[in-house]
Amino acid sequence: MTDHPIDENEPEASAIAQLTDALALKDREGLLGLMDEAHEADVADQLEQMSSEQRRAIVDLVPEAVTPDILAELEDEVLEDVLPRLGDQQIADALSEMDSDDATAVVEELQDDRREDVLSAMPASDRRAVEDSFTYEEETAGRVMQREFVAAPDFWTVGQVIDHMRAQGDNLPEIFFNIYVVDARLHPTGYVPISQIMRQPRERKISELLEPLLVKIPQDMDQEDVAYQFSKYHLISAPVVDVYDRMIGMITVDDIVNVIQDENTEDMLALAGVSDAGLTDTALSTVKSRAPWLFINLLTAILASFVIAIFQDDIQAVVALAILMPIVASMGGNAGTQALAVAIRGLAERDLTRANAVRAVRREFAAAIMIGLIFAAILAVITYIWFGEVEKLPQVVFIAMIVNHICAGLSGILVPLGLKRVGADPAVSSSVFVTTVTDVVGFFAFLGTAALLLF
Protein backbone atom coordinates (compact mmCIF):
# COMPACT_ATOMS: atom_id res chain seq x y z
CA MET A 1 0.00 0.00 0.00
CA THR A 2 1.28 3.44 -0.79
CA ASP A 3 0.54 6.39 1.35
CA HIS A 4 0.37 9.60 -0.59
CA PRO A 5 0.05 13.22 0.40
CA ILE A 6 -3.56 13.91 -0.39
CA ASP A 7 -4.77 15.36 2.87
CA GLU A 8 -5.23 18.98 3.91
CA ASN A 9 -2.19 19.14 6.14
CA GLU A 10 0.25 19.33 3.30
CA PRO A 11 2.62 16.51 4.19
CA GLU A 12 4.71 17.92 1.36
CA ALA A 13 5.88 20.60 3.75
CA SER A 14 7.36 17.91 5.99
CA ALA A 15 8.89 16.08 3.02
CA ILE A 16 10.54 19.34 1.98
CA ALA A 17 11.74 19.90 5.55
CA GLN A 18 13.34 16.43 5.51
CA LEU A 19 15.11 17.22 2.24
CA THR A 20 16.41 20.57 3.43
CA ASP A 21 17.55 19.04 6.72
CA ALA A 22 19.52 16.40 4.83
CA LEU A 23 20.89 19.14 2.60
CA ALA A 24 22.05 21.17 5.60
CA LEU A 25 23.92 18.10 6.89
CA LYS A 26 25.27 17.43 3.38
CA ASP A 27 23.84 13.94 3.91
CA ARG A 28 24.17 12.42 0.42
CA GLU A 29 22.82 9.02 1.44
CA GLY A 30 19.85 10.62 3.16
CA LEU A 31 18.98 12.72 0.11
CA LEU A 32 19.33 9.78 -2.25
CA GLY A 33 17.07 7.70 -0.02
CA LEU A 34 14.37 10.38 0.27
CA MET A 35 14.31 11.10 -3.46
CA ASP A 36 14.34 7.43 -4.37
CA GLU A 37 11.48 6.45 -2.07
CA ALA A 38 9.04 9.15 -3.13
CA HIS A 39 7.10 9.14 -6.39
CA GLU A 40 8.79 11.16 -9.13
CA ALA A 41 5.82 13.56 -9.26
CA ASP A 42 6.20 14.23 -5.54
CA VAL A 43 9.94 14.82 -5.80
CA ALA A 44 9.32 17.20 -8.70
CA ASP A 45 6.74 19.09 -6.61
CA GLN A 46 9.13 19.30 -3.67
CA LEU A 47 11.94 20.67 -5.82
CA GLU A 48 9.54 23.20 -7.31
CA GLN A 49 8.55 24.50 -3.91
CA MET A 50 12.08 25.00 -2.68
CA SER A 51 14.04 28.14 -3.34
CA SER A 52 16.25 28.22 -6.39
CA GLU A 53 19.36 28.07 -4.19
CA GLN A 54 18.12 25.02 -2.30
CA ARG A 55 17.37 22.93 -5.34
CA ARG A 56 20.61 23.89 -7.02
CA ALA A 57 22.50 22.81 -3.90
CA ILE A 58 20.65 19.48 -3.85
CA VAL A 59 21.42 18.75 -7.49
CA ASP A 60 25.07 19.73 -6.97
CA LEU A 61 25.28 17.32 -4.04
CA VAL A 62 23.42 14.34 -5.56
CA PRO A 63 23.12 14.81 -9.34
CA GLU A 64 22.48 11.08 -9.73
CA ALA A 65 19.26 11.39 -7.70
CA VAL A 66 17.67 13.24 -10.61
CA THR A 67 16.34 10.21 -12.46
CA PRO A 68 14.87 10.36 -15.97
CA ASP A 69 11.39 10.03 -14.40
CA ILE A 70 11.94 13.04 -12.17
CA LEU A 71 13.43 15.04 -15.03
CA ALA A 72 10.32 14.37 -17.12
CA GLU A 73 8.14 15.82 -14.34
CA LEU A 74 9.95 19.10 -13.73
CA GLU A 75 8.49 22.42 -14.81
CA ASP A 76 10.42 24.66 -17.15
CA GLU A 77 11.68 27.08 -14.50
CA VAL A 78 13.01 24.23 -12.40
CA LEU A 79 14.68 22.59 -15.41
CA GLU A 80 16.56 25.83 -15.94
CA ASP A 81 18.12 25.36 -12.50
CA VAL A 82 18.69 21.62 -12.78
CA LEU A 83 19.96 20.98 -16.32
CA PRO A 84 23.15 23.09 -16.08
CA ARG A 85 24.17 20.93 -13.10
CA LEU A 86 23.84 17.57 -14.88
CA GLY A 87 26.43 16.08 -17.24
CA ASP A 88 25.78 15.79 -20.98
CA GLN A 89 25.83 12.02 -20.78
CA GLN A 90 23.36 11.86 -17.88
CA ILE A 91 20.92 14.07 -19.75
CA ALA A 92 21.43 12.12 -22.99
CA ASP A 93 20.74 8.81 -21.23
CA ALA A 94 17.66 10.23 -19.55
CA LEU A 95 16.32 11.55 -22.86
CA SER A 96 16.74 8.12 -24.45
CA GLU A 97 14.66 6.55 -21.71
CA MET A 98 11.76 9.03 -21.95
CA ASP A 99 8.80 8.99 -24.31
CA SER A 100 9.56 11.38 -27.15
CA ASP A 101 7.12 14.09 -25.97
CA ASP A 102 8.78 14.32 -22.56
CA ALA A 103 12.25 14.31 -24.12
CA THR A 104 11.28 17.21 -26.38
CA ALA A 105 10.05 19.23 -23.41
CA VAL A 106 13.41 18.78 -21.65
CA VAL A 107 15.50 19.61 -24.73
CA GLU A 108 13.48 22.82 -25.15
CA GLU A 109 15.00 24.03 -21.87
CA LEU A 110 18.61 23.18 -22.76
CA GLN A 111 20.84 26.12 -23.61
CA ASP A 112 21.27 26.38 -27.38
CA ASP A 113 25.02 25.81 -27.27
CA ARG A 114 24.63 22.69 -25.16
CA ARG A 115 21.85 21.10 -27.14
CA GLU A 116 24.16 19.81 -29.84
CA ASP A 117 26.51 18.17 -27.30
CA VAL A 118 23.71 16.41 -25.46
CA LEU A 119 21.98 15.23 -28.62
CA SER A 120 25.19 13.83 -30.05
CA ALA A 121 25.61 11.72 -26.90
CA MET A 122 22.29 9.98 -27.66
CA PRO A 123 21.79 6.87 -29.80
CA ALA A 124 21.01 7.86 -33.41
CA SER A 125 17.37 6.73 -33.47
CA ASP A 126 16.37 8.43 -30.20
CA ARG A 127 18.22 11.50 -31.31
CA ARG A 128 16.36 11.63 -34.59
CA ALA A 129 13.00 11.43 -32.81
CA VAL A 130 13.87 14.46 -30.70
CA GLU A 131 15.28 16.42 -33.63
CA ASP A 132 12.16 15.68 -35.67
CA SER A 133 9.98 17.16 -32.91
CA PHE A 134 11.76 20.45 -33.32
CA THR A 135 10.66 20.69 -36.94
CA TYR A 136 7.16 21.44 -35.58
CA GLU A 137 6.13 24.80 -34.16
CA GLU A 138 5.96 25.19 -30.38
CA GLU A 139 2.54 24.51 -28.86
CA THR A 140 1.36 22.49 -31.87
CA ALA A 141 0.27 18.86 -32.04
CA GLY A 142 3.62 17.85 -33.55
CA ARG A 143 5.43 19.01 -30.41
CA VAL A 144 2.97 17.53 -27.95
CA MET A 145 2.61 14.11 -29.59
CA GLN A 146 4.65 11.03 -28.87
CA ARG A 147 6.05 9.05 -31.77
CA GLU A 148 5.48 5.70 -30.08
CA PHE A 149 2.12 4.13 -30.91
CA VAL A 150 0.67 0.74 -31.81
CA ALA A 151 -0.77 0.26 -35.27
CA ALA A 152 -2.10 -2.80 -37.06
CA PRO A 153 -3.47 -3.57 -40.53
CA ASP A 154 -7.22 -4.22 -40.58
CA PHE A 155 -6.93 -7.79 -41.95
CA TRP A 156 -5.30 -9.03 -38.76
CA THR A 157 -7.18 -11.01 -36.14
CA VAL A 158 -7.35 -10.35 -32.42
CA GLY A 159 -4.92 -13.25 -31.94
CA GLN A 160 -2.40 -11.78 -34.36
CA VAL A 161 -2.52 -8.42 -32.60
CA ILE A 162 -1.96 -10.03 -29.20
CA ASP A 163 0.92 -12.15 -30.53
CA HIS A 164 2.46 -9.09 -32.17
CA MET A 165 2.33 -7.19 -28.91
CA ARG A 166 3.81 -10.07 -26.96
CA ALA A 167 6.64 -10.26 -29.50
CA GLN A 168 7.27 -6.51 -29.46
CA GLY A 169 7.51 -6.30 -25.67
CA ASP A 170 9.68 -3.34 -24.72
CA ASN A 171 9.46 -1.63 -28.09
CA LEU A 172 5.86 -0.66 -27.38
CA PRO A 173 4.94 2.57 -25.59
CA GLU A 174 4.86 2.02 -21.86
CA ILE A 175 1.10 2.50 -21.71
CA PHE A 176 -1.45 2.75 -24.48
CA PHE A 177 -5.18 2.49 -24.83
CA ASN A 178 -6.02 2.07 -28.48
CA ILE A 179 -4.68 0.07 -31.38
CA TYR A 180 -4.77 2.23 -34.49
CA VAL A 181 -5.68 0.55 -37.74
CA VAL A 182 -3.80 1.91 -40.72
CA ASP A 183 -3.90 1.07 -44.40
CA ALA A 184 -0.92 0.26 -46.61
CA ARG A 185 -0.11 3.97 -46.99
CA LEU A 186 -0.18 4.51 -43.22
CA HIS A 187 -3.46 6.45 -43.30
CA PRO A 188 -5.30 5.78 -40.05
CA THR A 189 -8.73 4.31 -40.81
CA GLY A 190 -10.04 3.63 -37.32
CA TYR A 191 -9.13 2.32 -33.93
CA VAL A 192 -9.91 -0.48 -31.50
CA PRO A 193 -9.78 0.13 -27.74
CA ILE A 194 -7.61 -2.56 -26.19
CA SER A 195 -10.33 -3.21 -23.62
CA GLN A 196 -12.40 -4.39 -26.61
CA ILE A 197 -9.64 -6.56 -28.04
CA MET A 198 -9.12 -8.34 -24.75
CA ARG A 199 -12.67 -9.53 -24.46
CA GLN A 200 -12.86 -10.92 -28.00
CA PRO A 201 -11.99 -14.46 -29.17
CA ARG A 202 -8.59 -14.77 -30.85
CA GLU A 203 -10.03 -15.53 -34.30
CA ARG A 204 -12.15 -12.35 -34.39
CA LYS A 205 -11.15 -9.98 -37.24
CA ILE A 206 -9.90 -6.54 -36.19
CA SER A 207 -11.93 -5.02 -39.03
CA GLU A 208 -15.11 -6.16 -37.29
CA LEU A 209 -14.18 -4.28 -34.12
CA LEU A 210 -13.10 -1.11 -35.86
CA GLU A 211 -14.41 2.13 -34.38
CA PRO A 212 -14.40 5.20 -36.64
CA LEU A 213 -11.91 7.93 -35.79
CA LEU A 214 -13.71 10.89 -34.29
CA VAL A 215 -10.75 13.11 -34.84
CA LYS A 216 -7.49 13.03 -36.71
CA ILE A 217 -5.18 15.73 -35.40
CA PRO A 218 -3.21 17.59 -38.09
CA GLN A 219 0.45 17.96 -37.07
CA ASP A 220 0.26 21.76 -37.01
CA MET A 221 -2.95 22.09 -34.97
CA ASP A 222 -2.61 24.47 -32.03
CA GLN A 223 -2.46 22.62 -28.72
CA GLU A 224 -5.44 24.60 -27.42
CA ASP A 225 -7.55 23.26 -30.28
CA VAL A 226 -6.23 19.76 -29.63
CA ALA A 227 -7.32 20.08 -26.01
CA TYR A 228 -10.76 21.18 -27.14
CA GLN A 229 -11.14 18.05 -29.30
CA PHE A 230 -10.14 15.84 -26.38
CA SER A 231 -12.53 17.51 -24.00
CA LYS A 232 -15.43 17.57 -26.45
CA TYR A 233 -15.21 13.95 -27.58
CA HIS A 234 -13.90 12.53 -24.28
CA LEU A 235 -10.86 11.19 -26.12
CA ILE A 236 -8.25 9.07 -24.38
CA SER A 237 -5.82 9.22 -27.27
CA ALA A 238 -5.92 10.51 -30.83
CA PRO A 239 -3.74 9.94 -33.90
CA VAL A 240 -1.64 12.77 -35.30
CA VAL A 241 -1.30 12.88 -39.09
CA ASP A 242 1.05 14.70 -41.43
CA VAL A 243 0.01 16.71 -44.48
CA TYR A 244 -0.35 13.48 -46.48
CA ASP A 245 -2.77 12.11 -43.85
CA ARG A 246 -0.19 9.55 -42.70
CA MET A 247 -0.14 8.68 -39.01
CA ILE A 248 3.05 10.04 -37.45
CA GLY A 249 2.26 9.90 -33.73
CA MET A 250 -0.38 9.99 -31.07
CA ILE A 251 -1.43 12.30 -28.28
CA THR A 252 -2.74 10.91 -24.99
CA VAL A 253 -5.14 12.57 -22.61
CA ASP A 254 -2.69 12.80 -19.68
CA ASP A 255 -0.56 15.22 -21.69
CA ILE A 256 -3.70 17.13 -22.62
CA VAL A 257 -4.60 17.63 -18.95
CA ASN A 258 -1.38 19.64 -18.63
CA VAL A 259 -2.13 21.61 -21.78
CA ILE A 260 -5.58 22.49 -20.42
CA GLN A 261 -4.12 23.65 -17.11
CA ASP A 262 -1.47 25.74 -18.86
CA GLU A 263 -3.95 27.37 -21.22
CA ASN A 264 -6.32 28.13 -18.33
CA THR A 265 -3.52 29.69 -16.31
CA GLU A 266 -2.54 31.78 -19.31
CA ASP A 267 -6.11 33.04 -19.82
CA MET A 268 -6.72 33.81 -16.17
CA LEU A 269 -3.46 35.69 -15.70
CA ALA A 270 -3.90 37.50 -19.02
CA LEU A 271 -7.30 38.74 -17.88
CA ALA A 272 -5.62 40.19 -14.78
CA GLY A 273 -2.85 41.71 -16.92
CA VAL A 274 -0.05 39.33 -15.99
CA SER A 275 2.05 37.82 -18.73
CA ASP A 276 3.65 34.48 -18.39
CA ALA A 277 4.43 34.43 -14.67
CA GLY A 278 5.13 31.45 -12.46
CA LEU A 279 5.54 31.18 -8.73
CA THR A 280 9.10 29.96 -9.11
CA ASP A 281 9.88 33.40 -10.50
CA THR A 282 12.12 35.93 -8.85
CA ALA A 283 10.93 39.38 -7.79
CA LEU A 284 12.60 40.81 -10.88
CA SER A 285 10.76 38.56 -13.30
CA THR A 286 7.57 39.29 -11.38
CA VAL A 287 8.12 42.96 -12.15
CA LYS A 288 8.81 42.16 -15.81
CA SER A 289 5.62 40.15 -16.15
CA ARG A 290 3.44 42.87 -14.64
CA ALA A 291 4.99 46.20 -15.65
CA PRO A 292 3.82 46.21 -19.30
CA TRP A 293 0.14 46.04 -18.38
CA LEU A 294 0.57 48.56 -15.56
CA PHE A 295 2.23 50.91 -18.02
CA ILE A 296 -0.68 50.64 -20.43
CA ASN A 297 -3.05 51.11 -17.51
CA LEU A 298 -1.15 54.26 -16.54
CA LEU A 299 -1.74 55.67 -20.00
CA THR A 300 -5.46 54.89 -19.98
CA ALA A 301 -5.78 56.28 -16.45
CA ILE A 302 -4.12 59.48 -17.59
CA LEU A 303 -6.50 59.59 -20.53
CA ALA A 304 -9.37 59.38 -18.05
CA SER A 305 -7.75 62.18 -16.03
CA PHE A 306 -7.74 64.40 -19.10
CA VAL A 307 -11.48 63.92 -19.19
CA ILE A 308 -11.69 65.01 -15.56
CA ALA A 309 -9.46 67.99 -16.29
CA ILE A 310 -11.93 69.22 -18.91
CA PHE A 311 -14.46 69.63 -16.14
CA GLN A 312 -12.17 70.99 -13.42
CA ASP A 313 -14.08 74.25 -13.05
CA ASP A 314 -17.29 72.33 -12.44
CA ILE A 315 -15.56 70.20 -9.81
CA GLN A 316 -14.25 73.29 -8.09
CA ALA A 317 -17.80 74.66 -8.04
CA VAL A 318 -19.40 71.44 -6.81
CA VAL A 319 -16.83 69.35 -4.97
CA ALA A 320 -19.35 66.56 -4.48
CA LEU A 321 -18.64 65.67 -8.10
CA ALA A 322 -15.11 64.65 -7.12
CA ILE A 323 -16.51 62.55 -4.32
CA LEU A 324 -19.03 60.70 -6.46
CA MET A 325 -17.22 60.27 -9.74
CA PRO A 326 -15.00 57.35 -8.67
CA ILE A 327 -18.12 55.37 -7.72
CA VAL A 328 -19.57 55.63 -11.21
CA ALA A 329 -16.25 54.70 -12.83
CA SER A 330 -15.62 51.81 -10.45
CA MET A 331 -19.08 50.29 -10.98
CA GLY A 332 -18.66 50.48 -14.75
CA GLY A 333 -15.20 48.97 -14.54
CA ASN A 334 -16.43 46.03 -12.53
CA ALA A 335 -19.45 45.43 -14.73
CA GLY A 336 -17.19 45.50 -17.79
CA THR A 337 -14.81 42.98 -16.23
CA GLN A 338 -17.71 40.68 -15.40
CA ALA A 339 -19.01 40.72 -18.97
CA LEU A 340 -15.48 40.27 -20.28
CA ALA A 341 -14.68 37.27 -18.08
CA VAL A 342 -17.88 35.52 -19.14
CA ALA A 343 -17.17 36.22 -22.82
CA ILE A 344 -13.54 35.09 -22.66
CA ARG A 345 -14.48 31.90 -20.88
CA GLY A 346 -17.25 31.30 -23.41
CA LEU A 347 -14.81 31.75 -26.28
CA ALA A 348 -12.25 29.45 -24.66
CA GLU A 349 -14.80 26.70 -24.15
CA ARG A 350 -16.39 27.33 -27.56
CA ASP A 351 -19.73 28.07 -25.97
CA LEU A 352 -19.68 31.53 -27.53
CA THR A 353 -19.51 31.16 -31.31
CA ARG A 354 -20.68 32.91 -34.41
CA ALA A 355 -23.89 30.92 -34.15
CA ASN A 356 -24.96 32.59 -30.92
CA ALA A 357 -22.87 35.78 -30.76
CA VAL A 358 -25.72 38.08 -31.71
CA ARG A 359 -27.92 36.53 -29.05
CA ALA A 360 -25.16 36.88 -26.48
CA VAL A 361 -24.64 40.57 -27.31
CA ARG A 362 -28.36 41.18 -27.08
CA ARG A 363 -28.44 39.48 -23.70
CA GLU A 364 -25.53 41.56 -22.41
CA PHE A 365 -27.32 44.70 -23.57
CA ALA A 366 -30.54 43.72 -21.81
CA ALA A 367 -28.67 42.72 -18.65
CA ALA A 368 -26.68 45.98 -18.69
CA ILE A 369 -29.87 48.04 -18.84
CA MET A 370 -31.37 46.12 -15.92
CA ILE A 371 -28.18 46.29 -13.86
CA GLY A 372 -27.73 49.95 -14.77
CA LEU A 373 -31.29 50.79 -13.66
CA ILE A 374 -30.97 48.91 -10.37
CA PHE A 375 -27.68 50.45 -9.30
CA ALA A 376 -28.45 53.86 -10.75
CA ALA A 377 -31.55 53.93 -8.57
CA ILE A 378 -29.69 52.77 -5.46
CA LEU A 379 -26.87 55.27 -5.94
CA ALA A 380 -29.31 58.10 -6.73
CA VAL A 381 -31.08 57.47 -3.42
CA ILE A 382 -27.80 57.35 -1.53
CA THR A 383 -26.70 60.57 -3.24
CA TYR A 384 -29.98 62.22 -2.31
CA ILE A 385 -29.54 61.22 1.33
CA TRP A 386 -25.93 62.33 1.35
CA PHE A 387 -26.04 65.59 -0.61
CA GLY A 388 -29.72 66.42 -0.94
CA GLU A 389 -31.30 67.42 -4.23
CA VAL A 390 -29.95 70.94 -4.47
CA GLU A 391 -27.48 70.32 -7.26
CA LYS A 392 -29.54 67.75 -9.18
CA LEU A 393 -26.79 65.31 -8.20
CA PRO A 394 -29.16 62.34 -7.88
CA GLN A 395 -30.31 62.86 -11.46
CA VAL A 396 -26.72 63.20 -12.66
CA VAL A 397 -25.72 59.99 -10.92
CA PHE A 398 -28.74 58.16 -12.28
CA ILE A 399 -28.08 59.05 -15.91
CA ALA A 400 -24.31 58.49 -15.71
CA MET A 401 -24.67 55.07 -14.12
CA ILE A 402 -27.03 53.82 -16.80
CA VAL A 403 -24.87 55.12 -19.63
CA ASN A 404 -21.71 53.65 -18.12
CA HIS A 405 -23.25 50.24 -17.41
CA ILE A 406 -24.50 49.94 -20.98
CA CYS A 407 -21.07 50.88 -22.37
CA ALA A 408 -19.40 48.50 -19.92
CA GLY A 409 -21.64 45.54 -20.79
CA LEU A 410 -21.38 46.08 -24.52
CA SER A 411 -17.62 46.64 -24.56
CA GLY A 412 -17.21 43.58 -22.31
CA ILE A 413 -18.58 41.35 -25.03
CA LEU A 414 -17.93 43.28 -28.27
CA VAL A 415 -14.21 43.83 -27.61
CA PRO A 416 -13.32 40.12 -27.21
CA LEU A 417 -15.58 39.15 -30.12
CA GLY A 418 -13.96 41.81 -32.30
CA LEU A 419 -10.43 40.80 -31.32
CA LYS A 420 -11.25 37.17 -32.05
CA ARG A 421 -12.64 38.17 -35.43
CA VAL A 422 -9.41 39.92 -36.42
CA GLY A 423 -7.36 36.97 -35.22
CA ALA A 424 -5.99 38.39 -31.94
CA ASP A 425 -6.13 36.48 -28.65
CA PRO A 426 -9.11 37.98 -26.80
CA ALA A 427 -7.85 36.77 -23.42
CA VAL A 428 -4.64 38.76 -23.77
CA SER A 429 -5.71 42.13 -25.14
CA SER A 430 -9.34 42.70 -24.20
CA SER A 431 -8.86 44.14 -20.71
CA VAL A 432 -7.02 47.24 -21.95
CA PHE A 433 -9.82 48.28 -24.25
CA VAL A 434 -12.61 47.49 -21.82
CA THR A 435 -11.05 49.42 -18.91
CA THR A 436 -10.30 52.37 -21.15
CA VAL A 437 -13.94 52.47 -22.22
CA THR A 438 -15.31 52.17 -18.70
CA ASP A 439 -12.90 54.75 -17.24
CA VAL A 440 -13.24 57.36 -19.94
CA VAL A 441 -16.97 56.88 -20.43
CA GLY A 442 -17.52 56.71 -16.68
CA PHE A 443 -15.95 60.08 -15.97
CA PHE A 444 -17.25 61.71 -19.12
CA ALA A 445 -20.83 60.55 -18.66
CA PHE A 446 -20.86 61.70 -15.06
CA LEU A 447 -19.09 65.03 -15.39
CA GLY A 448 -20.66 65.80 -18.76
CA THR A 449 -24.18 65.20 -17.45
CA ALA A 450 -23.33 67.32 -14.43
CA ALA A 451 -22.09 70.16 -16.63
CA LEU A 452 -25.28 70.02 -18.69
CA LEU A 453 -27.71 69.83 -15.79
CA LEU A 454 -25.93 71.99 -13.22
CA PHE A 455 -24.32 74.84 -15.06
Query: Considering only residues 269, 397, 419, 428, which one is a binding residue for a copy of itself as defined by CB under 8 A?
Result: 269
Q: 247, 220, 250: which is closest to 235 by C-alpha?
A: 250
Which of 94, 260, 407, 437 binds a copy of itself (CB under 8 A)? It is 260
Among the listed residues 63, 64, 334, 389, the single contact to a copy of itself using CB under 8 A: 334
Please tell me whether residue 249 binds a copy of itself under the rule CB under 8 A: no
Cβ of residue 334: shortest distance to a copy of itself, in angstroms?
5
The span from the CA of 354 to the CA of 372, in Å, is: 27
Asked if residue 86 binds a copy of itself (CB under 8 A), the reply is no
- Residues of span 424-443 touching a copy of itself by CB under 8 A: 439, 443
CA 229, CA 374: separation in Å to the nearest integer?
41
Residue 133, class by beta-carbon neighbours within 10 Å (0-12 exposed, 13-18 middle, 19+ buried)?
buried
With CB under 8 A as the contact rule, the residue among 27, 28, 33, 39 that binds a copy of itself is: 39
Q: Give residues 297-326 in contact with a copy of itself (rule: CB under 8 A).
A: 297-298, 301-302, 304-305, 308-309, 312, 315-316, 319-326
State how far the Cα of 293 lies from the Cα of 296, in Å rounded to an integer: 5
Is-contact 81 48, C-beta < 8 A? Answer: no
Nearest to 344 by CA among 419, 255, 394: 419
Instruction: Tell me the three state secondary structure of residue 187.
Output: coil
Return the residues of window 347-406 that contact a copy of itself according to CB under 8 A: 349-356, 359-360, 363-364, 366-367, 370-371, 374-375, 378-379, 382
199 lies in the binding site for a copy of itself (CB under 8 A): yes
User: Does 168 engage in binding with a copy of itself (CB under 8 A)?
Assistant: yes
* CB-CB neighbours of 134 under 10 Å: 15
The reply to whether 206 sits near a copy of itself by the rule CB under 8 A is no
Closer by beta carbon to a copy of itself, 116 or else 358? 358
Give which of 185, 194, 184 is closest to 150, Cα–Cα. 194
346, 394, 416, 426: which one binds a copy of itself (CB under 8 A): 346
Q: For a copy of itself, which residue of 18, 67, 160, 189 counts as binding (CB under 8 A)? A: 189
Planar angle of CA 305, 307, 311, nearest 5 degrees: 110
In the list 186, 215, 361, 377, the residue contacting a copy of itself (rule: CB under 8 A) is: 215
Rounded Cα–Cα distance for residues 441 and 447 (Å) = 10
